[in-house]
Amino acid sequence: MPSTTTTTSLGYAWRTLSVVSLASVLTGLGGSAINVALPEIARHTGADATAAGWILLGFQLTTTVLMVVFGRLADLFGRRRMYLLGLATYTLAALLAGLAPNAWVIVAMRVLQAAGAAMLLTNSAALVSDAFPRERLGEGMGVYVASFSIAGLIGPTLGGVLAAGPGWRWVFWFNVPIGLICLVWGAIVLRRPAVARREGGLDWPGNVLVLATLGGLLLALSEFTRLGWGHPAVLGGLAAFAVGLPLFVARERRAAHPVVDLRLFRERAFAYGTLASFLNAVARMGMLFLVALYFQAVRGDDPVQAGLKVLPLAVAAMIASVASGFLQRLMSARTLAAAGAATTTCGLAVMLAVMSARTPYPAVAAGLVLIGLGSGVFLPSNTTAILDGLPSDRLGIVNAMRLMMQNTGNVVGTALVLSLLTAPLPAELHRSVFAGTLAHLSGGAVEQLVTGYRWALGSMAAISVLTVLACLARRRSA
């Protein structure tokens, strides 16, 4: 029979998980709803392909470059404070985005929202890891990751219904009441940290360098397909990365309290685990957007129909995420991560094999289910393998490093998908793709877009194979 102390501790762990999961549903709903509603937002705000792309990329880029900063701040000043501040920031930005007069104001509010999301994401897995006993961590992490799948299950349909009914502004405004509920529940549940001396300080030069270096790289990767390699913005981003990277490495090696502990990458298990996070994100990121846009731009469906048709991915991911925690009682998290990555690869291969302008829906659904099952198993298992056993005062920064690599993969994957998707099309048709109206134009344009889909899916499948190899290499090193 478990002791009273253990039962109380486990009770707090599940309450903490409820706070984290509710906030994860909030941020996940926001992202998946916008993926489906983006064509409607673009039509009503007059957004060109650049503005439409930056509604997605601006959020991802900002979240990524702020991860390590907020991870270190959370270790220094407390995860509870940072988490609640993140909820307040995210909710306020959603309110303001719904009031935006044009697409570029939406981009600005999405950047502010991304700052709040970075505070939340950096601390979510760390809060779960800190609250759960080691032997039950897999279950907690599985439910936490499943919360994103629940958002993926509801978000596409919700985004389509809101965009087609009350209007695109409600794609942002629905976040506000949920955010306020999360904020109140978090303030009640999360324990105030004990007053203690926290060792270390904030490496301001390192933080500035990581913002400039990573931000420059992601800006260049996001914009080179539209502007070309010779554009000043792209060249400036590459220059910031080329100059900033050696300066950053030199600074972190001699910093007393580095923002990124480079010594962690000497451990092969950690290095391969973060590499797998990066590659998996590149391979699967944009899949929801890619398929929702396929049904609108290629098949001529409305946002509601498109949202309903991508549900198999989210359902499969949710089921697999919850099951992964219990499967970790039977096999190691590293083995499950490799199996999940392999399943995702199979799903992408199916999508590539069946892709056409007239693909039967069951064939698309089969590929989506495999990708969902693979992602649902990989994400919690890989996160558990990286965070398990770490001391509490290092969870924030290590989780931030994991998320930084994962979100860098998200931005790279999104930029890759968007560039390959539209590459076969003339520049003047790019706006029709993002507005979801290409299906109403000539059949030749649709076939060109399908070619872009094949290029994108082939690249994603190849990168997913590399994810499997990274997972296998980690198992051997362990």
Model pLDDT, residue 225: 63
49 vs 434: CA distance, rounded Å? 7
Is the pLDDT at 342 greater than 50? The verdict is: yes
Sign of the dihedral through C-alpha 46, 94, 218, 417? negative
366 vs 370: CA distance, rounded Å? 6
pLDDT tens string 74-125: 777 788 888 999 999 999 999 999 898 888 899 999 999 999 998 998 888 8
Residue 300: how many other CB atoms lie within 10 Å = 15
Higher pLDDT, 409 or 397: 409
308 vs 414: CA distance, rounded Å? 22
Query: Rounded to the nearest 10 degrees, how much is the dihedral formed by the CA atoms of 215, 216, 218, 224?
Result: 150
Query: What is the reported pTM?
Result: 0.75
pLDDT tens string 211-241: 788 888 877 876 776 677 778 888 888 899 8
Q: Which amino acid is at 3?
A: S
Please give the distance of CA 172 from its chain centroid, rounded to a whole number. Answer: 18
Q: pLDDT category, 393, cuts 50, 70, 90? A: low
Tokens of 54: 């930056």
Sign of the dihedral through C-alpha 214, 220, 223, 224? negative
Domains of the chain: 12-191+198-202+257-477 (1.20.1250.20)
Q: Which amino acid is at 227?
A: L
**Cβ-contact 318, 149 below 8 angstroms:** yes
If you compute the radius of gyration of the chain from its CA atoms, what whole number of angstroms results? Answer: 21
Tokens of 287: 């899949």
**Cβ-contact 286, 56 below 8 angstroms:** no
Q: Where is 168: in which H helix or E strand? A: none
Tokens of 455: 């290029």
User: Shortest CA distance to 56 belongs to which of 302, 416, 374?
Assistant: 416
Is the pLDDT at 451 greater than 70? The verdict is: yes
Q: Span 308-314, mean pLDDT?
A: 83
